Amino acid sequence: QQPVQSPQAVILREGEDAVINCSSSKALYSVHWYRQKHGEAPVFLMILLKGGEQKGHEKISASFNEKKQQSSLYLTASQLSYSGTYFCGTETVDRDDKIIFGKGTRLHILP
């Protein structure tokens, strides 16, 4: 089942923080995060495994709340380069080797 991302879109000024959520109705094993700029291939950000871990990538970090079946992506002190569409992909505990992606969250950073 497709995970739900929220918000669908967000506009920030450079330096502001943002949180993007990815929620599933099924028990999750892993959550994958990617960023894609218009006309370009996606860029891999990180994979989180169940266990409630938190990871960081530059000023971008993420958490995985196993109880809520939700992952949140945190963008701190956003930079212009953070603009793009963020996709989460989820794999359920069934470990069926299928990654289902959300519809994406469009992030636009203004100078």
- 73 within 8 A of 56, measured Cβ to Cβ: no
Q: Does 99 bind another protein (CB under 8 A)?
A: yes
What is the DSSP track for 19-36? EEEEE-SS-EEEEEEEEE
Select the residue interacting with another protein from 9, 44, 56, 59 (CB under 8 A).
Answer: 44
Q: Does 4 bind another protein (CB under 8 A)?
A: no
Closest approach, Cβ 94 to another protein, in A, equals: 11
What is the DSSP track for 67-97? TTTEEEEEE-S--GGG-EEEEEEEEETT--S
Select the residue interacting with another protein from 37, 68, 98, 108 (CB under 8 A).
Answer: 98
Q: Does 43 bind another protein (CB under 8 A)?
A: yes
Q: Does 42 bind another protein (CB under 8 A)?
A: yes
Binding site for another protein (CB under 8 A): 30, 34, 36, 41-44, 46-49, 55, 87, 89, 96-104
